[in-house]
Structure 1
């Protein structure tokens, strides 16, 4: 018996949205390290090119870049059709694209609310639906939606973000219920506080940084690379009977009061 081979992603192709930096880039690097061909996504071709070069420099053997807007149905449909015909079938999808905005809830602009929902939630539906059609036809596929500790919790000034992350957790369960009969596995990863460019302002805020370190039982922020093992597990044949599950990678943040 060779249990390690269950985690081998050789011969698989993974699309990771919002992967030019941060959590998306960390997950893409992990999947590439497990043998997958990786398709990076973002809206900035130059940033995608830089990210692809960094992965190649780190030893990734087959990296592509695909610029498209995950919130635009037309853009997504065109990009996925191009990927499936010109690059190859997508075996693994990681819906990672996301954004944050902070303000007192009574001052949140409606356009920002809609932007957060569209970027964090609607995009996962649009991209997931487009990719799932090919997976359903092939009777196999892995979809991983990036949730958050805020899928279960809330903090002042980010209620719409928390709402989007709670919704994507239940969208994950709904996708699993609808698509598991077609051979798909759909699960989520819920990161805790991770050191990324998106959180740079929080990392520099001494009071907030201290709160995170005290609130997290492990006493520190996580690194994007620490999400890689969870992503490999959920993308691989090691998780064939795991469906509709949200895996928290948060240093025990949600396990304590």
Structure 2
């Protein structure tokens, strides 16, 4: 999205080493922002290098409160501020409800809900008046079309992404009421053929919900008025928009980027 100018903005993108997060980081950088990629995967260091000079990588376990505090502090110090936070890190573990593992539920709750909550906590603290950055800004949480539809095999994941929606709206209200100057929104991505998306198609087929991964993908396309899967740049463009002044009067919103699947 080259028509939006984010020159001078400082951004932190979680789960930015690969997939959607990598695409979002690249789009923010292309729009002029300086980006810190935060990820538990060390591959994020190379991803940051691929963005060019001035960008960086910080190792972050989004489920760890102290790790969040240090990652945000390092971002503010190295980049010279923090104006944009993208809470993208997430995991999906496919299972029928009758076969769900308690440990898998805890993992998804930890990364998808706790991780987003801690991101909101430390992002708002840094951006609000008196914070380490203190200039306000924008937080975009990554939910999913799974929060708005009933797709088999992903009940717990869907529940966690519904929670991301509620967290977004309450955080936006608190930020506004307390004068933080931070807009908080979320996007609902449709299915994208990243490693996670391909894994989901394979998993639901293995559970017997569809005759093949190709049939699972075909079912998603059939449910999508736009008639195709999403692409990484579709999601990245939405994040750039919500992070920009073009969205200056948008907060507490959930933006579907799903080709109409969840309408």
Aligned equivalent of 1:189: 187
The structure 2 residue matched to 1:67, chosen from 46, 59, 66, is: 59
Kindly report which structure 2 residues correspond to 1:226-237, keeping only aligned pairs within 5 A, or say none.
Answer: 226-237=234-245
Q: Residue 141 of structure 2 contacts residue 186 of structure 2 at CA under 8 Å; is this kept in 1?
A: yes
The structure 1 residue matched to 2:95, chosen from 103, 111, 134, is: 103
Aligned equivalent of 1:148: 144
Kindly report which structure 2 residues correspond to 1:107-256, keeping only aligned pairs within 5 A, or say none.
Answer: 107-137=99-129, 138-180=134-176, 181-202=179-200, 205-255=213-263
Aligned equivalent of 1:14: 11
The SS at the match of 1:254 is: coil
1:94 pairs with 2:97: no
- What's the TM-score once normalised by structure 1's chain length? 0.91
State the Cα deviation string for residues 66-120 of structure 1 (Å, max 9, x = none): 1110111111112212222343211100000000001111221111111101111
In 2, the alpha carbon distance for the partners of 1:84 and 1:35 equals 17
CA change 1:81–1:146 in 2 (3 A) is same
Gaps of 5+ in 1: none
- What's the TM-score once normalised by structure 2's chain length? 0.89
CA change 1:106–1:211 in 2 (3 A) is same
Q: Residue 185 of structure 2 contacts residue 252 of structure 2 at CA under 8 Å; is this kept in 1?
A: yes
32-41 vs 77-86, which moves further: 77-86
The SS at the match of 1:9 is: coil
Gaps of 5+ in 2: 203-212
In 1, the alpha carbon distance for the partners of 2:123 and 2:254 equals 20
CA change 1:123–1:202 in 2 (3 A) is closer
In 2, the alpha carbon distance for the partners of 1:142 and 1:26 equals 18
In 1, the alpha carbon distance for the partners of 2:161 and 2:14 equals 16
Aligned equivalent of 2:208: none
Q: Residue 6 of structure 1 contacts residue 237 of structure 1 at CA under 8 Å; is this kept in 2?
A: no
CA change 1:230–1:5 in 2 (3 A) is closer
RMSD in angstroms over aligned alpha carbons? 1.8
Aligned length: 247
CA change 1:27–1:210 in 2 (3 A) is same
The SS at the match of 2:12 is: strand
In 2, the alpha carbon distance for the partners of 1:89 and 1:6 equals 23
Structure 1 residue 19, shift from structure 2 partner: 0.7
In 2, the alpha carbon distance for the partners of 1:160 and 1:109 equals 10
